[in-house]
Chain A
Amino acid sequence: MISFQPTVDEIAFRNLARNFAKEKLRPLARDFEEKRQVSDEISRGINELGFSALELPADWDGLELPLISQVQIVEALSAGDLGGVQGFRGPGEAASLFRLVPAHPLFNKIKKTTREKTWPAVAFLNGNKPNHSSSLRLELQSSGGGYLLNGTSRPLRMAKYAGYLLVGLKDTTGEQLLIWLEDHGQWRLLEGDYRLGLLASGFSKIQFHDTVITDEQVLAKGHEAKVLLSQMLTRTRVLEAAKEVGAMEAALDHAAVYTAQRKAFGQEIAKFQGVSFTLADMSIKTQAARHLVWQSALKVDDRDPEGEAASQSALQFAHQSLRFVTDCAVQLLGGHGYVQDFPVEKWMRDAQAQIIFTEGESELLLDHGERLIVGEERGGLHDFIQNVAASNPG
């Protein structure tokens, strides 16, 4: 039955997240940005309240919540400050891989530390993303019993603080690999001058120089790696899109309050249709984006074969709407929106950074559209992933 009513538990968890976002995250947002990291106190709070464990499997002491519940909580948190949420240290995107193959032996160490509540950071390098810069090339060459990895990555979120690195990359023959690295000595940080947004997220490039990747560090290869990566990205897209809806909600609320109070020409500027209609558009886009996120979450939870396409669609719409809504918020505040006395300029910068560091709008649309026209036999993927999980030696 079609229903938009969250469960009692979801409402309770969402309210908890909302309060934390309002009372803890929002007031410290500028501080996080200035210090380029989220404070330990906030990180502890996040972990104690269980927000870091939403996606983690139950036998990792995680909450293993369905995505439809997670997206509501993540949205509420991000409405506090997207930059702060993206600066939380923890498993990040890799949590979705842990969820898919919780018993993989390569994860024994991080599983232990996670259960001990020490929450190490994991960075994710998706080497399959289109790369237009010749200086940012990665090469994975088969060598002896393993591989040699060379090159420089694009800037990665959490790279600066990462104790672990998850790498999705094709080797020189085109075979897909998923690699798990837990030795800092295998990579070098190339820190940069980042000013746009999400500045507490620990961005850094990662450089490899004849890094030896042993077969033991390979999580999966070939079709298995491709499927795992695809399933992981499907889940992370939904969660990233939910964060973007939270940021939209923040910008919408702030713009509404400001324009209801600000007077010009003798009346509240809300009474000018150029203002109020813009706010209405912001509201429509935010709500539509939220529904697409919910739809994709439900499809992924239900193992619907269309889940992957739905996640691409939800993230693309969220990107587009986030850009629109945060830009409109700055515009509605006028000069006050541009200066740092108000948070909307930060949210606009964070929004643009968020869009850049996740998958781009064009590639999401193109991939989705090609599936529509050509079609793809994706029915077996879910069975396959279950087989991978079930047959894993760990």
Chain B
Amino acid sequence: MISFKMSPHQIQVKEVVHWFAENEMRPISLASDQHKRVPDEWLENINQLGIQLSTSSFGDSDSTSEESDQTEKRKKSERQGNRLAVIAAEELGWGDPAIALTLPGPGLGGPPVQASGTPEQKRRFMSIFSRDEPPRWGAYALTEPEAGSDVSGLKTTAVKTNGGYILNGQKVFITNGARASWVVVFATVDQKSGRAGHRAFVVEKGTPGFSCTRLADKMGLRASETAELLLEDCFVPEENLLGGESYYEEKSAGHTGFRVAMQTFDNTRPIIAAMATGIARAAFEYTLDFVQHEYPKHGRSFHTASTILAKAQQEIDASRLLTWEAAWKADMGKPNAKEAAMCKSFSGTISLGVCSRCLEVLGPDGVEGHLVEKLYRDAKIFDIFEGTNQIQHLIIARHLYEPLGVRI
């Protein structure tokens, strides 16, 4: 039965995360943007409260392998982890997307470990995130200076050696890349074999030959750390190859690092879309409140603001529903690559548009010390990371033409 009503559990998650966003994130939002970092003390306190950013931390597929095994046994219809995750992510995006991305936890590195890791790897890498320990992070390193959207162009190499692999290459735009305890790094064992040669490794902090060379200054998301990583003759033991050798040897199963990377996106794109929706909603609510208190209730300005705000609310609703659909499909165990791309594409576009038009309503006042100016700068990246809007279009088009026998 079609229903857009949240269950009591979903409502509870939304309310709890919203409370956190409003009372913990918002008060430090503008200052964190100004200082380009989230205060360490704040992160420690948050970690002690057990609040982490994990793409699965709000859902059913929780961190330990035992629990995951339990989850697998549940009926598909009972799964709601992806829906819970997007509900929570919208609230975190509403609070502050840069701080949300800085919350301790496995971050975008979590899904590939969960999806492709061996039980031992899941236990080893996911168990470090605990409220009883100092805050820790995971990260996901796919993009390179010359290979972003075109993943097949990866240049980071992994050469098999005794007991492991030697990695060489450079990674850019890596969220939490410097502070992460481990990073899922994608590399190729054979550039000539294209995607089939891709592998995913977990590279641990402090590994000789693995370093952060720069933290990038950005238009927005300034409180979020964006690192450039260098791998110089970096030895990674074979037990850190995600899934182990046997995972890739089953060629009939089609396992490649590329597939690991793409499956990750199917899970994470709805979450990114939800955060973008939250950003748009934050700008909308802020501007609506401003207009209600500052604008006359008649005349040209009022009518202009009315139509802008109505359009904003409409686009936010549509964005949320596209995102929920992608998450629902994932919960049902159905392929959701097209829907994940659709919600990512739509939300990235409307988030920036809503922020832009809200700034227009606020006028010149809006650029001085108002939240919406920051949201506008933050929103743009949601049109770019986790696959640019153009890549989302490509994915959608592929799925539209596939049944018609055309491969694009």
- Pick from B80, B295, B310, B404: contact of A260, CB under 8 Å: B404
Q: A10's closest neighbor in chain B, by CB?
A: B2
**A276-B393, A279-B397, A373-B302 known; A288 vs B307 contact (CB < 8 Å):** no
Verify A270–B408 contact, CB threshold 8 A: yes
- Pick from A1, A3, A279, A313: contact of B310, CB under 8 Å: A313
Identify which of residues 1-46 in chain A touch chain B, using a CB-to-CB cut-off of 8 Å. Answer: 1-7, 10
Verify A369–B10 contact, CB threshold 8 A: no
How distant is the Cα of A268 from the Cα of B2 in the complex, in angstroms?
38
Does B342 count as interface, using CB distance less than 8 angstroms?
A: yes
Q: For A316, list chain B residues within 8 Å (CB).
A: 310, 314
Smallest CB–CB gap between A367 and chain B, Å? 8
Stretch with Cβ within 8 A of B (4 or more), from A129-137, A164-172, A210-218, A291-299: A291-299
Identify which of residues 303-319 in chain B touch chain A, using a CB-to-CB cut-off of 8 Å. Answer: 303, 305-311, 313-314, 317-319
How distant is the Cα of A244 from the Cα of B392 in the complex, in angstroms?
25
Interface string of A54-94 (1 = CB under 8 A from B): 00000000000000100000000000000000000000000
Verify A365–B2 contact, CB threshold 8 A: no
Stretch with Cβ within 8 A of A (4 or more), from B61-69, B163-171, B320-328: B320-328
Q: For B3, list chain A residues within 8 Å (CB).
A: 1-3, 298
- Pick from A294, A310, A373: contact of B297, CB under 8 Å: A373
How distant is the Cα of A268 from the Cα of B404 in the complex, in angstroms?
11
Verify A313–B314 contact, CB threshold 8 A: yes
Verify A256–B318 contact, CB threshold 8 A: no
**A260-B404, A365-B307 known; A287 vs B322 contact (CB < 8 Å):** yes
Q: A368's closest neighbor in chain B, by CB?
A: B310
Verify A6–B2 contact, CB threshold 8 A: yes
Does A362 count as interface, using CB distance less than 8 angstroms?
A: yes
Verify A366–B310 contact, CB threshold 8 A: yes
Q: For A281, list chain B residues within 8 Å (CB).
A: 393
Q: B329's closest neighbor in chain A, by CB?
A: A4
Q: A370's closest neighbor in chain B, by CB?
A: B306
How distant is the Cα of A362 from the Cα of B324 in the complex, in angstroms?
28
Q: For A390, list chain B residues within 8 Å (CB).
A: none
Q: For A268, list chain B residues within 8 Å (CB).
A: 406
Interface string of B340-363 (1 = CB under 8 A from A): 001001100000000000000000
Smallest CB–CB gap between B201 and chain A, Å? 33
Q: Which of A283, A291, A295, A368 has the most CB of B within 10 A?
A: A291
- Pick from A6, A280, A310: contact of B397, CB under 8 Å: A280
How distant is the Cα of A279 from the Cα of B394 in the complex, in angstroms?
10
Smallest CB–CB gap between A58 and chain B, Å? 20
How distant is the Cα of A94 from the Cα of B39 in the complex, in angstroms?
62
How distant is the Cα of A295 from the Cα of B292 in the complex, in angstroms?
26
Does A180 count as interface, using CB distance less than 8 angstroms?
A: no
How distant is the Cα of A3 from the Cα of B1 in the complex, in angstroms?
7
Does B5 count as interface, using CB distance less than 8 angstroms?
A: yes
Verify B83–A2 contact, CB threshold 8 A: yes
**A3-B1, A366-B310 known; A276 vs B291 contact (CB < 8 Å):** no
How distant is the Cα of A268 from the Cα of B405 in the complex, in angstroms?
11
Verify B303–A295 contact, CB threshold 8 A: no
How distant is the Cα of A316 from the Cα of B318 in the complex, in angstroms?
12
Interface string of B170-186 (1 = CB under 8 A from A): 00000000000000000
Identify which of residues 390-408 in chain B touch chain A, using a CB-to-CB cut-off of 8 Å. Answer: 390, 392-394, 396-397, 400-401, 404-406, 408
Verify A284–B306 contact, CB threshold 8 A: no
**A2-B83, A295-B317, A372-B310 known; A276 vs B297 contact (CB < 8 Å):** no
How distant is the Cα of A369 from the Cα of B288 in the complex, in angstroms?
10
- Pick from B80, B292, B317, B394: contact of A1, CB under 8 Å: B80
Q: For A173, list chain B residues within 8 Å (CB).
A: none
Does A271 count as interface, using CB distance less than 8 angstroms?
A: yes
Verify A2–B346 contact, CB threshold 8 A: no
- Pick from A256, A294, A313: contact of B313, CB under 8 Å: A313
Q: For A313, list chain B residues within 8 Å (CB).
A: 310, 313-314, 317
Identify which of residues 345-394 in chain A touch chain B, using a CB-to-CB cut-off of 8 Å. Answer: 362, 365-366, 368-370, 372-374
Verify B306–A288 contact, CB threshold 8 A: no
Number of contacting residues on A, CB 8 A? 47
Q: For B325, list chain A residues within 8 Å (CB).
A: 4, 287, 291
How distant is the Cα of A279 from the Cα of B400 in the complex, in angstroms?
8
How distant is the Cα of A53 from the Cα of B345 in the complex, in angstroms?
39
- Pick from B291, B342, B405: contact of A373, CB under 8 Å: B291
Q: For B396, list chain A residues within 8 Å (CB).
A: 280, 283-284
Smallest CB–CB gap between A251 and chain B, Å? 13
Verify B307–A362 contact, CB threshold 8 A: yes
Verify B406–A271 contact, CB threshold 8 A: yes
How distant is the Cα of A261 from the Cα of B295 in the complex, in angstroms?
54
Interface string of A262-286 (1 = CB under 8 A from B): 0000001011010011011101100
Does A317 count as interface, using CB distance less than 8 angstroms?
A: yes
Verify A366–B393 contact, CB threshold 8 A: no
Q: B405's closest neighbor in chain A, by CB?
A: A260
**A256-B400, A260-B405, A268-B406 known; A369 vs B306 contact (CB < 8 Å):** yes
How distant is the Cα of A154 from the Cα of B302 in the complex, in angstroms?
30
Q: For B295, list chain A residues within 8 Å (CB).
A: 373
Identify which of residues 271-302 in chain B touch chain A, using a CB-to-CB cut-off of 8 Å. Answer: 288, 291-292, 295, 297, 302
**A2-B324, A287-B342 known; A369 vs B305 contact (CB < 8 Å):** yes
How distant is the Cα of A6 from the Cα of B1 in the complex, in angstroms?
5
Verify B2–A369 contact, CB threshold 8 A: no
Q: Which of A6, A68, A298, A369 has the most CB of B within 10 A?
A: A369
How distant is the Cα of A75 from the Cα of B383 in the complex, in angstroms?
31
Smallest CB–CB gap between A238 and chain B, Å? 14
How distant is the Cα of A294 from the Cα of B322 in the complex, in angstroms?
12
Verify B307–A2 contact, CB threshold 8 A: no
Does B219 count as interface, using CB distance less than 8 angstroms?
A: no
Verify A1–B2 contact, CB threshold 8 A: no
How distant is the Cα of A316 from the Cα of B5 in the complex, in angstroms?
23
Smallest CB–CB gap between A91 and chain B, Å? 25
Q: For A261, list chain B residues within 8 Å (CB).
A: 404
How distant is the Cα of A370 from the Cα of B291 in the complex, in angstroms?
11
Chain A to chain B contacts (Cβ below 8 Å), 26 pairs: A1-B7, A2-B3, A256-B400, A270-B406, A273-B393, A273-B394, A273-B397, A276-B397, A277-B393, A277-B394, A279-B397, A279-B400, A280-B396, A287-B325, A294-B4, A295-B4, A302-B5, A317-B314, A366-B303, A368-B313, A370-B306, A372-B288, A372-B306, A372-B309, A372-B313, A373-B291
- Other A-B pairs, 15, CB within 8 Å; known A3-B328, A373-B305: A1-B6, A2-B7, A3-B3, A256-B401, A257-B404, A270-B404, A277-B390, A281-B393, A284-B345, A287-B325, A287-B342, A295-B4, A369-B305, A369-B309, A372-B306
Chain A to chain B: the 8 pairs with minimum beta-carbon distance, closest first: A369-B306, A369-B310, A276-B397, A291-B321, A260-B404, A280-B396, A368-B310, A288-B318
Hey, which bits of chain A sit against chain B, CB under 8 A? 1-7, 10, 68, 256-257, 260-261, 268, 270-271, 273, 276-277, 279-281, 283-284, 287-289, 291-292, 294-295, 298, 302, 310, 312-313, 316-317, 362, 365-366, 368-370, 372-374
